[in-house]
A = this chain, B = another copy of it.
């Protein structure tokens, strides 16, 4: 199958579609009769958006948003005219770009790039003193999954969590400032892939390590893959501390939580424990791992744990067999996504190498852990959805939408009918199959991962774009497609090219997010600045002074358009210069920056914010510094001189 799949994917003549002759069991794509198309347009005009009050966010003034400027067209119209606002905040994981993107939906306009694990020239992220300490001079990241913090089963507007597969890290973004405030390293982990926060409250964030490692991974025994293990790690969503880990034998892929705070789920596609492609695909069966959180926490509390390597995090050893901590539900080989539908009743496991989804009834899990059921008895349906099913999302009306990678399509199916069919009823659960372009990975729908799923829009994150956009050389963008799911049938509305490589996204109703417009001057960054200011007896918001200790020179500066508070800096070549700049402007959108020519120094300072960067003064000479953010008609004149003496 490997060779065939590859040919299919690469063949632009056939639009990247699979050879149907090899998939005799598959439904035809035009399964839905033409007579069904277009039914249900009456549902389309309903507008669920409202201007709500902030729920659980960090302290900030309530934001007033004029309803009249909000886009309120029926879902069929995705165009948001000039001066109107989108209906949803989309949070996109940027994959190898290491960033998060904020995308307005339905317009599909990128509203912001949030640098996380990457170096951002525009903001200075990765080079400024605060983020440099967080990232340690590492500038490669691979963000995979973004999820917002929850309370009572829906988004509480406080935080976004995102993982780095390349560096085994979990980052958090504050949703008042849309900026990272914490990055946590996950010990004994490699290839951190699926993450999911608990949904009953801002509690744990569960993180799966996909690549199994020797435990400990200290170089003493490295080559026998049959001894490797993987970690399911719990991070406290409030403090960002690692609370505990559960060690298992199989690799852990995607992650989900239930709505009650009882369980977390992980797909395992390589229960063989292979390290080579053919070994990973050897067995016909893999698993959905179910973690029993209360039992695990009880074991941690009782000290029934170990530590691994240099880490002090308590580890529950759950390798090898089912236990009060982990149960393994068998599914066809190499599953990928696991998604819990909005009523919280079913977890749906996509088959990847099986053309099916396995539906697990969550209510049965208590009996499973009580030993009253066999793991396989928890599966209540297994509909055939297409070749290469990866992820499933929901509309809150009982339908599931599964992304089909090899077939390049989205399959809409009826969960209740799938269960009936599994029980022997002669019903057809498949509702529609819609072509997408091409090779879709993740999909998500508006509010799909909350109890408030509203069935308006679906996003298909296609991994290949091939011929869908103007050719821009050998590296093609991905294609984020916008699909209207408000009616009985899905409708493709828009092709959205994106920089590599969105892995996942969530769509959040605009009333649930309430950002500030002016820096609140709080959080770990300000703990740092306030500490320095106290040491030096400086008022950050007012003072323009230089504090020298030997070769270390702290330059405290202010800015107010179109001038810096300091126009001249005198240092010696080789001095370690730290510029700490506070933007005195209180006007929305009036950001400044500080760029020192010839020194690789450039950073952003938002209204009423402070930021800082440290550099070594170069060869003797004059170096101009300037504000690189167009802030004023006299912006070009906003500059000063650094004299570097021999």
Let me know if A79 is at the binding interface, CB within 8 A: yes
A623 touches B190 (CB 8 A): yes
A177 touches B595 (CB 8 A): no
Nearest CB in chain B: distance from A460 CB, A: 11
Given A621-B217, A629-B500, A276-B567 contact (CB < 8 Å): yes
Q: Dominant SS at the A interface?
A: loop
142-170 of chain A: CB within 8 A of chain B: 142, 165-168
B441 touches A497 (CB 8 A): no
B140 touches A561 (CB 8 A): no
Partner of A122, one of B97, B124, B641, B643: B97
A82 touches B494 (CB 8 A): yes
Let me know if A340 is at the binding interface, CB within 8 A: no
B632 touches A9 (CB 8 A): yes
Given A82-B495, A211-B624, A476-B589, A96-B602 contact (CB < 8 Å): yes
Let me know if A304 is at the binding interface, CB within 8 A: no
A630 touches B439 (CB 8 A): yes
A631–B95 Cα distance when bound, in Å, is 13
Nearest CB in chain B: distance from A184 CB, A: 15
A646–B217 Cα distance when bound, in Å, is 12
Using Cβ atoms and an 8 Å threshold, which residues of chain B touch A623?
190
Nearest CB in chain B: distance from A183 CB, A: 14
Partner of A167, one of B475, B476, B496, B600: B600
Let me know if A134 is at the binding interface, CB within 8 A: no
Let me know if A396 is at the binding interface, CB within 8 A: no
B82 touches A500 (CB 8 A): no
Binary interface profile of A, 90-130, with partner B (CB < 8 Å = 1, else 0)? 00001111110010100001111100011111111011000
Interface-central residue, A120, A217, A270, A646, by most chain B CB under 10 Å: A120
Using Cβ atoms and an 8 Å threshold, which residues of chain B touch A94?
122
Using Cβ atoms and an 8 Å threshold, which residues of chain B touch A499?
110, 112-113, 122
B269 touches A636 (CB 8 A): yes
Binary interface profile of A, 323-334, with partner B (CB < 8 Å = 1, else 0)? 000000000000
Nearest CB in chain B: distance from A587 CB, A: 3
Given A6-B632, A466-B589, A562-B277, A472-B111 contact (CB < 8 Å): yes
Using Cβ atoms and an 8 Å threshold, which residues of chain B touch A99?
121
A252–B102 Cα distance when bound, in Å, is 38
Given A138-B600, A495-B82, A633-B352, A191-B626 contact (CB < 8 Å): yes
A441 touches B630 (CB 8 A): yes
A641–B274 Cα distance when bound, in Å, is 12
Binary interface profile of A, 570-603, with partner B (CB < 8 Å = 1, else 0)? 0001000000000001011111010101101110
A628 touches B598 (CB 8 A): no
Binary interface profile of A, 455-485, with partner B (CB < 8 Å = 1, else 0)? 0000000011111111111111100010000
Copies in the complex: 2
Nearest CB in chain B: distance from A465 CB, A: 7
41-92 of chain A: CB within 8 A of chain B: 63, 65, 69, 79, 82-83, 85-86, 89
Given A112-B499, A494-B82, A600-B140, A96-B634 contact (CB < 8 Å): no
Closest to A623 in B: B190
Given A472-B111, A499-B112, A481-B82 contact (CB < 8 Å): yes
Which one of A238-246, A284-292, A368-376, A513-521 contacts B?
A: A513-521
A80–B255 Cα distance when bound, in Å, is 37
Given A473-B177, A475-B606, A598-B636 contact (CB < 8 Å): no
A96 touches B121 (CB 8 A): yes
Let me know if A607 is at the binding interface, CB within 8 A: yes
A190–B473 Cα distance when bound, in Å, is 33
A35–B524 Cα distance when bound, in Å, is 59
A641–B217 Cα distance when bound, in Å, is 13
A178 touches B102 (CB 8 A): no
A–B pairs, 14, beta carbons within 8 Å:
A9-B633, A10-B585, A11-B587, A69-B467, A98-B121, A110-B497, A112-B477, A121-B140, A168-B597, A178-B472, A269-B636, A277-B638, A464-B590, A472-B515
Sorted from nearest, which 6 A-B pairs have the closest CB atoms?
A: A219-B620, A10-B587, A178-B473, A98-B121, A474-B606, A140-B602
